[in-house]
A = this chain, B = another copy of it.
Amino acid sequence: PDAAAAEAARARQAQLTKPPGSLGRLEELAAFMAAWQGTDRPKLDRAQALVFAGNHGVCAQGVNPFPQAVTGLMVANFEAGGAAINQLCRVAGAELTVIALDLARPTADFTHAPAMTEAECLAALNRGAAAVDPSADLLILGEMGIGNSTVSAALAHAICGGAPEDWVGRGTGSDAEGVARKREVVARGVARHAGLAPLHLLAAIGGREQAALCGAVLAARAARVPVMLDGYICTAAVAPLHGAAPGLLDHCLVGHLSAEPGHARLCSAMGKAPILDLGMALGEGTGAALALMVMRGALECHNGMATFAEAGISAA
């Protein structure tokens, strides 16, 4: 990040026609964008949204009330423009690309074996990295994958510790019995792969969309493209990067706090403060797309407001 650009952005904020600090988080967002874009006047001409979809062998454990075929049906719905993320990208001004990752070949059931081989994990990482437009001003990330709230809980538990119940919620609609089953599956899976380093946990427990999200985050970092993560699934997907080196996620914001109960704990463990809290738990990048609108507001204020001098107002 460019500390001088961030400092110049903060200096500009102090001159804009408002009491110092009164735009709150919007002022921080402008300085964050300045730091990563390397200019005191950051822009949002091009917002790229990437949604990665994958299928998970752990569904064999009965962790999700929906059949795995729904992942592919929802990908078709994304492509037809009928999902929530399509509407939100349109209104927020993001260009959406959906990438289905070998849906017909789910990962292995992580309670019995590593979910992915190293080669499979690397292939998905590379798919994610290759999808990033290095000229984007901001990258929105989202996902779809039946069963991936269980995968997320297992990743969060393996990386951040605690107990399985700290990380397991209702997902797409599990009842109390389903939640209990998810907890047991998470406990068993994490015990099966205990002791692995964070990036090996990504392969052992994660799925292809988790690996692709990590690849996209790393490619964005290399191109200094700031990233807006979505909710629980997205945050958990990149937890292995945080586990490997927390600074790897310095260019990432969390768009919204999910209604999944583990998300607040995970954000706290990873030092992230979500921008929105709207009781959402849909995934697809929907919370990140909404946060993009807040970011647009932040940059419009930063770049468009008059200074006290321009407005002829003496700052008391």
Contact = CB atoms under 8 A, between A and B. Distances in A.
Interface of A: 16-20, 22-26, 65-67, 70, 73-74, 76-77, 80-84, 86-88, 90-92, 172-173, 259, 275-282, 286, 289-290, 293-294, 296-297, 300-301, 304-306, 310-313, 316
Contacts of A311: 73, 76-77, 80, 82
B172 A313 contact: no
B259 A24 contact: yes
Contacts of A76: 311-312
Instruction: Specify which of A24, A172, A313, A316 lies most central, judged by the most chain B CB atoms within 10 Å of its CB.
Output: A24
Interface hub of A18, A277, A280, A296 (most chain B Cβ within 10 A): A18
Contacts of A286: 23
Contacts of A296: 91, 293
A139 B27 CA distance: 26
A178 to B, nearest CB: 12
A88 B70 CA distance: 39
A137 to B, nearest CB: 15
A77 B316 contact: no
A179 to B, nearest CB: 14
A87 B300 contact: yes
Contacts of A312: 73, 76
Given A91-B297, A301-B88, A282 B19 contact: yes
A20 B66 CA distance: 13
9 contacts: A17-B84, A18-B83, A22-B280, A24-B280, A73-B313, A82-B306, A82-B311, A86-B305, A290-B297
B83 A24 contact: no
Nearest to A313: B73
Contacts of A92: 293, 297
Contact of A77 (B17, B90, B173, B300): B17
Given A74-B313, A297-B290, A279 B82 contact: no
Given A67-B316, A300-B88, A82 B25 contact: no
Contact of A305 (B82, B259, B294): B82
Contacts of A84: 16-18, 23, 301, 305
A160 to B, nearest CB: 24
Contact of A25 (B20, B24, B278): B278
